[in-house]
Amino acid sequence: MPIMNVIKNESFGDMLCVKIPCEDFNSGSQLIVAEYEEALFVKDGVVEQVFGPGKYTLTTQNYPFLTKLMSRILTGGVSAYNCKVYFINKSHHLNLKWGTSDALRCLDPVWGIEVHVQARGAYTVSVKDGKKFFIKMVGANVNAAESDIVRNFRISFLQNITDEMVAYLTSSSDEILVTCNKKKALAESLTEPLNEILDEYGLELNNFYIENIEVPEHDDSMGRIREMRIQRQEKRFEREQSMADQRMQFGMRQEEAEAERYISGQKAHADYERMKIRDQDGNNGWARQEASEIMKTMAEKGGNSTGAGIGMELGMGLGVGRAMGNMAGDFFSNMNQQVMGNQSGKLICPKCSSVNPEGMKFCGNCGTPLTPPAVKCSSCGQEIPAGMKFCGFCGTPVPQVPAEQLKCSQCGANIAPGMKFCGVCGAKAE
């Protein structure tokens, strides 16, 4: 076997551990270790030295451990040493596959139905501790490849993956089909327990991926879940539609009630306006107008006859009109008295005809003064009705002041002589 002068790794990238075929090296040989590697010198099953990335000249002066490795082999007058050299590849090893061979059985947390779930994915590992990896994983083997990792850790990986996956799916508040799409969260939850397995062998889990979690289409449970989901959606739609119909009916009833109140108010106001206009003279004008309409109708009917019948019909028309007028006068007079009686104790605005409670000084609708301000006697202090020239209590003459000096510029009320402010609205007298 030749004696090597340069020690370096020339294996393929999928190898995690490679043994250099030659075991005899010259003193002063060159050791070349790449940045992604470690070199282990092993003698009689013991790791004597671990070299990191770099270029080394192996002599007993630089590395005293080589002294005990020296053999009696002489090559060109140079002593050689005998040992095994292993190169550990510490780069990331990608796309290591995993998958469940059998479907997992678990209960859907929403429907309580047993479903069968399958999953697959990949992971990335790297050597974290080369010496630990060599002792516990490689051992007496010459090499270690990526396939060895997949094969050796398959069972332990699947045990943790399936247990964690079933617990994750059943503890969720969503259906399994919804939870199956949350692969990232499940993958993150699996990273720590899987790392604990690899750490025992000097390995590290760099990334863990879940490619797919699915329930097989031919699974009978999927058909049952679809049927129940459709029924739930139909019931939800019916309930929402019923609530929408109830809201619409309630809104329509509310609008109808508001419209009826508005129409009733308008009718009442119109009736009041007609009564007020027809009875402006205070002598049952409404009743007399109704009677006049009746007489006019009867007279027109009598005018269509001929001869003596005209006078008879006219007289009958006038008589009937007079009787109807009296009846209508009595009826409408009573009604007017009843209406006006209902308004007793209330004040009618002279401008907008709104009804105001007794004691109000201004109309609540338009702000017009309801009662003219009373003039008080300068001698006895009693109120004097408007237009009086003498006090009815003590006979003191009432001073007559020009009209423009008696009216308030704000509300139009009369201002007593000597007053600096309006007694009704408080405005300053001008």
pLDDT at 327 over 60: no
> DSSP readout, 192-249?
HHHHHHHHTTTEEEEEEEEEEEE--TT-HHHHHHHHHHHHHHHHHHHHHHHHHHHHHH
In a domain, 59, yes or no: yes
Q: Pick from 73, 89, 105: which residue ends a domain? A: 89
Place of tokens 């070199």: 39
Number of domains in the chain: 4
Closest C-alpha among 228, 208, 227, 110 to residue 165: 208
**Which residue type occupies 362?**
F
Residue 87 in this model has a pLDDT that exceeds 90? yes
Looking at residue 401, what is its pLDDT?
Answer: 54
> Quick one: pLDDT at residue 341?
46
Least confidently predicted of 66-80, 229-243, 251-265, 360-374: 66-80
pLDDT tens per residue, range 17-64: 999 888 878 878 889 999 999 999 988 778 889 999 999 988 877 777
Are 35 and 110 found together in one domain?
A: no
Choose the final residue of a domain: 89, 108, 141: 89
Distances (CA, A) of 12 to 8, 89, 144, 340: 13, 10, 12, 116
In this structure, are residues 32 and 6 in contact, taking their beta carbons and an 8 Å threshold?
A: yes
Residues 115 and 156 in one domain: yes
Of 89, 117, 144, which residue constitutes the final position of a domain?
89
Q: Say whether both 73 and 168 belong to one domain.
A: no
- Please tell me whether residues 32 and 69 are part of one structural domain: yes
Domain for residue 137, yes or no?
yes
Q: Do 117 and 206 sit in the same domain of this protein?
A: yes
Contact 222, 115 (CB under 8 A): yes
> Are 65 and 99 found together in one domain?
no
Centre a 10 Å sphere on the Cβ of residue 99 and count the other Cβ atoms it contains.
14
Percent of the chain with pLDDT over 90: 10
- Asked whether residue 36 falls in the same domain as residue 61, the answer is yes
Q: Tell me, yes or no, whether 79 and 100 share the same domain.
A: no
Has residue 364 been placed in a domain?
A: no
Helices marked H in 279-402: 285-303, 308-342
| Mean pLDDT, all residues of the chain | 77
User: For residue 426, is it within any domain?
Assistant: yes
Residue 231 lies inside a defined structural domain of this protein: no
By CB atoms closer than 10 A (0-12, 13-18, 19+), residue 185 is exposed
Domain of residue 150: give its range. Answer: 93-216
Who wins on pLDDT, 225 or 333?
A: 225
3-class secondary-structure state, position 403: helix
Q: Is residue 300 part of a domain?
A: yes
pLDDT at 374 over 70: no
> Whole-prediction pTM value?
0.48
In a domain, 259, yes or no: no
How confident is the model over 159-187, as pLDDT tens digits? Answer: 888 888 888 888 888 888 888 888 888 88
Same domain, yes or no: 17 and 42:
yes
Q: Which two tokens stand for residue 196?
A: 């604990």
Flag whether 343 is in a domain: no
pLDDT value of residue 328: 47
The CATH number linked to 159 is 3.30.479.30
Among 122-126, 160-164, 266-270, 413-417, the range of highest mean pLDDT: 122-126
Could you tell me how many residues make up the chain? Answer: 430
State percent of the chain over pLDDT 70: 76
For residue 209, what are the CA distances in angstroms to 95, 178, 230, 324?
9, 18, 33, 104
210 and 99, same structural domain? yes
Q: Do both 204 and 286 map to the same domain?
A: no
Question: In terms of domains, do 21 and 117 share one?
Answer: no
